[in-house]
Amino acid sequence: MKGIVFTEFFEMVEEQLGFELVDKLIDETELKTAGSYTSVGTYDHRELLALVSNLHKFTNIPVNELLENYGQYLFPRLADIAPELINKFENLFDLLLAVDSIIHVEVQKLYPDAELPKFTTASHKDNELKLIYSSCRPFAYLAKGLILGCAQYYDEQVSINIENMHKDTLITVVR
Ligand code: HEM
């Protein structure tokens, strides 16, 4: 997992919960990296899961909620990596339909070692989009948060439903 996902996570915890909690998280989570992430480095995604799991212990906020909140925080920051890429799209559904075929393809060119999920369109209507999230990493709620962050970016109101399907996750977005 790219370092930017870790550095922005610490930024969010610091902004929303204070820097003492960042210190406590780094001190009390077993991390190979010892907490010294750089945005261009690449780290084991299980370190992020361990950090989120400890944040849950310290705050009592459910893990899925923490991942969702983090996705919302992360979207505008990811959008900053390649603003010209985001500017191609005029609304949430247009962007979501291109995450797999355009956005993450460009991300992979920028960071050849990026580990990205797969999104398949299950159905697409004017007010409803069903996407299948497939990844060997358990970040469906991060995806939900990123979609909410993206909706906010376009000033759109949506509701999102997450449904586990065997190994994959069905994400239904209604606007
Ligand atoms: C709403 C739109 C998007 C969704 C739903 C989405 C979803 C995700 C998810 C769920 C991951 C975590 C990895 C995994 O689950 O296997 C991820 C990773 C990532 N995405 Fe996206 N993404 C979106 C838009 C973007 C944009 C706009 C950018 C930047 C231009 C971007 C760049 C990245 C990067 C850099 C990673 C980290 C890869 C790694 O850790 O190796 N994403 N994305």
Beta 168-174 vs 159-165: how paired, if at all? antiparallel
Task: Tell me the CA–centroid distance for residue 125 and ligand 1, in Å.
Answer: 24
Task: Find the mean pLDDT for residues 115-134.
Answer: 98
Does the C-beta of 48 come closer than 6 Å to ligand 1?
Answer: no
The ligand 1 atom nearest the CA atom of 146:
1
The domain locations on the chain are 3-61, 74-174
Helices (H), the chain: 3-17, 19-28, 45-59, 63-79, 83-86, 92-98, 104-110, 140-153
Atom of ligand 1 nearest to the CA of 42: 41
**Res. 173: pLDDT tops 80:** yes
Would you place residue 36 in the very low, low, confident or very high pLDDT band (cuts 50, 70, 90)?
Answer: confident
User: pLDDT confidence of 33, banded at 50, 70, 90?
Assistant: confident
Sheet of 159-165: strands edge to edge?
A: 118-124, 128-134, 168-174, 159-165
Q: Is the distance from the beta carbon of residue 85 to the nearest atom of ligand 1 less than 6 Å?
A: yes
Per-residue b or e along 93-115, where b marks 16 or more CB atoms closer than 10 Å to that residue's CB: bebbbbbbeebbeebeeebeeee
Q: Is 74-174 in CATH node 3.40.50.720?
A: no
DSSP 101: I
pLDDT at 92: 98
